Amino acid sequence: MEHVVIIGNGISGVTAARHIRKLSDQKITIISAESKYFFSRTALMYVFMGHMKFEHIQPYEAYFWKKNRLDLVQDFVEKIDVNQKKVYLAGQAPIAYSKLIIATGSKPNKFGWPGQDLDGVQGLYSKQDLELIEENAKNAKTAVLIGGGLIGVELAEMLITRGIKVIFLVRENKFWGGVLPAQEAALIGRHIEKHHVDLRYQEELEEIIGDENGRVKEIRTKKGEIIPCEIVGLTAGVSPNINMVAASDVETARGIMVNEFLETSVPDVYAIGDCAQFHTSINGRKNIEQVWYTGRIMGETVAQTICGNRLAYNPGPWFNSAKFFDIEYQTYGWVFAQLKEGEEEFYWEHEKGEIAMHLVWDKNTHEFKGINSFGIRLRHDLFDKWLNEKASIQTVMSLLKSANFDPEFYKLYEKEIITQFNTVTSFEISLKPRLWWQKLMTS
């Protein structure tokens, strides 16, 4: 019988497994060293903060795997042999495969900083990191975080709930400046500071200094400042986790190289999720996509291919979301940190400075390009449709009310937004009354 072996039980590997099971009867084995059962990495912070227990972040109960005949192996894959089609494990006999899916995710970046392996220095990626930070937080008073991205904010929020002072070193002069336009970066920066995080812009780590027991005791910044601390959080991004294929014929660069069918350079070996790198960018997206949603899409896509329906990865318009302390963020399409040539933009911010919307469109064709929304939830389906259809900015603006996804009774800001839009741009938009959004979907 065909035997599909999947390395990695993250969202990519598990989605692939679920869909292969839906479509076929092949034997499926999922191998992971981190945990027996799939859990949601994105929710690690909530376990630390006491919102949930670890069992709550496991999306499926134990019976699910049995019922769907998904064999789980908790072990570490040391190497793969693509000629013999075998996977070699640290703790048990090798497993033979007919098809292999590599979904091994990422690992936190370490840029060779002196002292980066001291006790008390850690990233936040795995279940083990969660256990480690529980330990490290026990007697900590101060933590220094390096690198201002999403995981950094999550780590800051986590530590703050334990009464630990957080000093956040950000290389740029604004927060998450590589992704967020200046206005949003400022808004988020303010909000983070409101939560008593000590944000230090244009500061970089020079060295982590340990004590005689090999524990971190302080750090030195590039400017020479010494900051005593008990925890150093390394959150300067992640990179593909590809060690297990290093000695094989599978072609790699930063990640495991794949074509649009998620096939690697070796037949019957596929790579999906954080660890995959596309030869050529797909739909203008990055070659390596390290987000939950894309891992899921790749998992569903590769399942089709494995079950005989060779399908290219063809993600729809880009979307993402996050939460910065209390502010929810959603984005659809592309709003780049720097406005691109030929683009025009509109930014609205509520007077209290915690709700904002940023829209971008093409100057000539008026095609809607993307939206960032802070503190206002928006309907994914509608924006997906508008982006697919290359709808105009006028369409989007006039239907803003229907696109709102906030809970009932929430205060609505569309009028305010449109009034300002009509003032600062040359458009004359009249806001259409709220329509049942599904009617718009089919019209």
Partner 1 sequence: MKNIKYFGMGVFLLALAIFTSLAFVGNFELTERGMRAQLNEQELTNLEKPLMEEMVGKPYRTSFTFSRDFIAVFNRINEDLKAKEEWDKVMWSPVSGIALKLAQSSANGIVASHKMLFFLLTFGLGILGSLIYIISDLKIKGPPGIKNDGIYHDSATNRGWIGILTAVWLISFYVILYFHPYIIANLISITDPIKGLFIEGEKASKWFLYGLLYTTSMTVMGARMIIKYRHNRYQIVRTITVVLFQIIFAFLLVEILPMFGLPGKDLKSAWPLDYYFLFDWNVQDLMSSGNFGKFVFVWGIVLSIIIVPTMVYFYGKRWYCSWVCGCGGLAETLGDPYRQLSNKKMWTWKLERWMIHAVLVFAVIMTVFTGYHTYNVFVHPEMDSKEILFGISAFDIRSWYGFLIGSIFAGVIGTGFYPILGSRSWCRFGCPLAAYMGIVQRFKSRFRITTNGGQCISCGNCSTYCEQGIDVRAYAQKGQNIVRSSCVGCGVCSAVCPRGVLKLENGPEANRFGNEGPIVLGNNGFELND
Ligand X SMILES: Cc1cc2nc3c(=O)[nH]c(=O)nc-3n(C[C@H](O)[C@H](O)[C@H](O)COP(=O)(O)OP(=O)(O)OC[C@H]3O[C@@H](n4cnc5c(N)ncnc54)[C@H](O)[C@@H]3O)c2cc1C
Q: How far apart are CA 410 and CA 70, in angstroms?
A: 43
Residue 412 sits in the site that holds partner 1 (CB under 8 A): no
CB of 233 to partner 1, least distance (A): 18
Residues 229-248 that bind ligand X (CB under 6 A): 241, 244
Residues 418-437 that bind partner 1 (CB under 8 A): 436
Q: Which of 64, 88, 201, 293 binds ligand X (CB under 6 A)?
A: 293
With CB under 6 A as the contact rule, which of the stretches 37-45, 135-143, 411-419, 432-440 interacts with ligand X? Answer: 37-45
325 backbone dihedrals φ, ψ, rounded to 5°: 50, -110
- Of residues 273, 328, 233, the one with CA closest to residue 32: 273
The 88-127 contact track toward ligand X, x by CB under 6 A, reads ---------------xxxx-----------------xx--
Where does residue 381 rank: exposed (0-12), middle (13-18), buried (19+ CB within 10 A)? middle
* Distance set, CA 394 to CA 107, 196, 403 (Å): 43, 40, 14
Contacts by 292-295, CB closer than 8 A, 24 or more apart:
292/11, 292/41, 292/42, 293/319, 293/320, 295/10, 295/11, 295/12, 295/15, 295/103
Q: Which of 4, 257, 307, 322 binds ligand X (CB under 6 A)?
A: 322
The answer to whether the CB of 123 falls within 8 A of the CB of 147 is no
Binds 86: which of ligand X, partner 1, none (CB < 5-8 Å by kind) = none
CB of 370 to partner 1, least distance (A): 15
With CB under 6 A as the contact rule, which of the stretches 2-10, 22-30, 173-181, 435-443 interacts with ligand X? Answer: 2-10
Residues 2-21 that bind partner 1 (CB under 8 A): 11
- Please, which residue, 133 or 227, has the CB nearer to ligand X? 133
Q: Which of 46, 60, 64, 76 binds ligand X (CB under 6 A)?
A: 76
Angle, in degrees to the nearest 10, between helices 11-23 and 292-306 = 30
* Distance set, CA 437 to CA 146, 302, 375, 396 (Å): 42, 32, 20, 13
Q: Which of 379, 397, 402, 429 binds partner 1 (CB under 8 A)?
A: 379
The pairing of beta strand 356-362 with beta strand 319-324: unpaired
How many Cβ atoms from other residues are within 10 Å of residue 436's Cβ?
A: 8
Q: What angle do CA 317, 323, 327 make, to 5 degrees?
A: 110
Residues 180-209 that bind partner 1 (CB under 8 A): 194-195
- Of residues 187, 223, 153, 219, the one with CA closest to residue 356: 187
* Distance set, CA 117 to CA 155, 207, 218 (Å): 19, 11, 14
The answer to whether the CB of 232 falls within 8 A of the CB of 143 is yes
Binds 290: which of partner 1, ligand X, none (CB < 5-8 Å by kind) = ligand X
Q: Which of 182, 246, 253, 312 binds partner 1 (CB under 8 A)?
A: 312
Say whether 43 sits in a helix, a strand or coil: helix
- Of residues 342, 328, 320, 331, the one with CA closest to residue 181: 331
CB of 423 to partner 1, least distance (A): 28
Residue 334 sits in the site that holds partner 1 (CB under 8 A): no
CB of 251 to partner 1, least distance (A): 24
CB of 290 to ligand X, least distance (A): 5
Could you list the residues that contact partner 1 (CB under 8 A)? 11, 40, 42-43, 46, 49-53, 56-59, 61, 63, 161, 194-195, 292-294, 296-297, 300-301, 304, 309, 311-316, 319, 321-323, 325-326, 328, 330, 377-381, 384, 388, 405-411, 436, 438
Q: Could you list the residues that contact ligand X (CB under 6 A)?
A: 7-13, 31-34, 41-42, 44, 76-77, 103-106, 124-125, 151, 154, 241, 244, 273-274, 290-293, 295, 322
